[in-house]
């Protein structure tokens, strides 16, 4: 029976540079289309229709029309991208880079600033 069949593989691998990266010093660029984390790209255009929250399978998004807030519970989000696909105003985006680890639970809140009072008749 042949012994040390792995020798060839090991010699090759010794001559090669390491297959691993020195993370986090050296990071891999995520491929195009990777689902890393959900980001609120532009809260200014959001119309608070709430479709994203309804479509979300884990109910990670809470939209409050009266307060003009859009909230995300990142620990609930499974990065499926349903909300990004459904948003009529293209406010949401999927980034390839993963979200970093958490030390405490928190809700990310985005608040839309009131529109400049240009059309205010008074």
SS3 of residue 70 by DSSP: strand
Strand duo 92-95 + 37-40: pairing: antiparallel
Judged by CB under 6 A, the residue of 62, 80, 93, 99 near ligand SF4 is: 80
96 binds ligand SF4 (CB under 6 A): no
Other CB atoms within 10 A of residue 49 CB: 14
3 binds other proteins (CB under 8 A): yes
6 binds other proteins (CB under 8 A): yes
Contact set for other proteins, span 15-74 (CB under 8 A): 19, 30-35, 57
Give the x/- contact pattern for ligand SF4 in 2-31, rule: CB under 6 A. Answer: ------------------------------
Give CA–CA dist 86/67, Å, rounded.
22
Give CA–CA dist 72/24, Å, rounded.
26
Distance of CA 77 to the CA centre of its chain: 9
Strand duo 37-40 + 61-64: pairing: unpaired
Give the x/- contact pattern for ligand SF4 in 58-77, rule: CB under 6 A. Answer: x-xx-x------x------x
Cβ neighbours of residue 54 closer than 8 Å, sequence gap 6 or more: none
- The site for other proteins (CB under 8 A) is made up of 1-6, 8-10, 13, 19, 30-35, 57, 78-81, 94
Given the rule CB under 6 A, which residues bind ligand SF4?
A: 38, 46-52, 55-58, 60-61, 63, 70, 77-83, 87-89, 91-92
């Amino acid at each position: 029976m042949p012994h040390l069949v792995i020798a060839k593989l090991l010699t090759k691998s010794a001559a090669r540079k390491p297959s691993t990266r020195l993370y986090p010093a050296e990071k891999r660029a995520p491929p195009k289309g990777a689902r890393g984390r959900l980001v609120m790209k532009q809260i200014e255009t959001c119309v608070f229709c709430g479709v994203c929250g309804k479509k979300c399978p884990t109910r990670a998004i809470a939209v409050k029309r009266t307060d003009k807030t859009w909230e995300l519970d990142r620990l609930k989000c499974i990065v499926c991208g349903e909300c990004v696909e459904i948003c009529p105003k293209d406010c949401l985006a999927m980034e390839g880079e993963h979200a970093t680890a958490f030390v405490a639970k928190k809700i990310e809140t985005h608040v839309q600033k009131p529109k400049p009072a240009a059309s205010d008749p008074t």
